[in-house]
Amino acid sequence: MSPAIAAGTALLLLLGLAALVALRPALVIRHGIARLCPGVLFRGPSQRRWLALTIDDGPSGTGSDALLDLLRELQVPATFFLIGSHLRRHPSFPQRALAEGHQLGNHLWVDSCSALLPQREFLCQLDATERRIRRCAAPQIPRLHWLRPGRGLVHPGLVRWAASHRQRLVLGSIFPWDTLGPPTWFQRWFILANAHPGGILVLHDTPELSRQTLATLAAVLPELQRRGYRFVSLQTLSAPAPPGSSC
């Protein structure tokens, strides 16, 4: 094989791998990345047709309320990973979310790359956000043991630091690149193409993204339900499946 042909073949392989990662990352995560990061939850262990919906970066105000309205209509539970500083402007969100059957998670105090934080700052943000969520949720007492790092990047130290505060890191296996601003049709296709038993879907609730998140969920949630998927909480999804269960 000539050098030119070898180089062309290598380029095609790299392009194919890049396309696979971009368009079908659930396969890469399920069969590769998740095995390299055993302390991070990417998907549930069950082969049952269950999915967990997670929504990051809220609350955003009216956008968050619209999402809750839709989820109540469709009877779909979600886990909202909240940013502590955002609760200053929207303190009533945790109470309503919990009252309507959703879970709350910790997304630290500000929207930044958690993997770049030193340990002290990471734990400071974790604790401050947990205190703010509990204060806003009172008199309800939320179970706070899920933590999603900002920007979705982790390292072994983050896993240990979170575990020291009885928190488990959660990423996901179905992320339709919504933070990059793709159109709703792409997000819909992406989610339906990558849905799989035990999958964790990640979308965002910010003033810029909540409207598109609402449109995407309005399109895909009923379709996934028609395909036999059931939406459950992260707690339910992550529990070991009984032997022999597959549906």
Average pLDDT (224-241) is 93
Least confident range of 10-14, 51-55, 97-101: 10-14
What residue segments make up the domains of the chain, in order of their start?
A: 37-238
- State the pLDDT confidence band at 2, using cuts at 50, 70 and 90: low
| Cβ–Cβ under 8 Å, residues 99 and 141 | no
Only one residue has tokens 């396969």, namely 27
Give residue-wise pLDDT tens across range 113-155.
999 999 999 999 999 999 999 999 999 999 999 999 999 899 9
pLDDT value of position 20: 45
Mean pLDDT, the chain, rounded, equals 88
Give the number of other CB atoms < 10 A from CB of residue 179: 17
**pLDDT for residue 6 is more than 90:** no
- State the pLDDT confidence band at 47, using cuts at 50, 70 and 90: confident
pLDDT value of position 172: 95
pLDDT value of position 30: 64
% of the chain beyond a pLDDT of 90: 78
Half-sphere CA count of 170, side-chain side, radius 13 A? 34
CA distance 246 to 91: 41
**Arch. (CATH architecture) of 37-238:** Alpha-Beta Barrel (3.20)
Average pLDDT (31-45) is 81
**pLDDT for residue 162 is more than 60:** yes
CA distance 41 to 234: 10
Least confident range of 46-60, 87-101, 162-176, 232-246: 232-246
Q: Model-level pTM?
A: 0.88
**Residue 84 has what DSSP assignment?**
G
Task: Look at 56 and 45; give whichever has higher pLDDT.
Answer: 56
The helices-and-strands tally (H runs, E runs) of the chain is 10, 8
pLDDT value of position 36: 72
pLDDT value of position 82: 98
